[in-house]
Amino acid sequence: MPLIREAIDVMSPADRMMTMEYLWSVMSNAAEPDTPEWHAAILNERRRRAVAGEEAFISVSESKCRLRESGWSGRRQIGV
């Protein structure tokens, strides 16, 4: 795993985005893992709020646009 982290650290933002999109496509075509009970509870609550109109969701494309508009650079290091 350290080699993967080192490779990601030296990637350009565009390469990181392409890598992330590739990983997402691989993961989305794989069999779904069992959802832990605690996570299923969170998903069920979010689903309930969405159906009740208490929650609104946006697409990945909209999220990307909002991040770019906010000036987010993607350079924060999260738990690495």
Q: For 25-79, write each residue's pLDDT tens digit.
A: 998 888 877 889 999 999 999 999 999 999 888 899 999 899 889 888 766 555 5
Query: Running DSSP on this structure, what letter comes out for residue 58?
Result: -
Note the pLDDT of residue 56: 83
- Give the range of the structural domain holding residue 43, as residue numbers without chain letter: 2-28+35-70
**Contact of 50 with 57, CB cutoff 8 Å:** yes
Note the pLDDT of residue 57.
Answer: 83
Task: Flag whether 77 is in a domain.
Answer: no
Rounded CA-CA distance 23/4 in Å is 13
Give the Cα-Cα-Cα angle 20, 26, 29 (nearest 5 degrees): 135
Residue 79 lies in a domain: no
Within-domain flag for 42: yes
Average pLDDT over residues 13-35: 89
Grade residue 80 by pLDDT with cuts at 50, 70 and 90.
very low
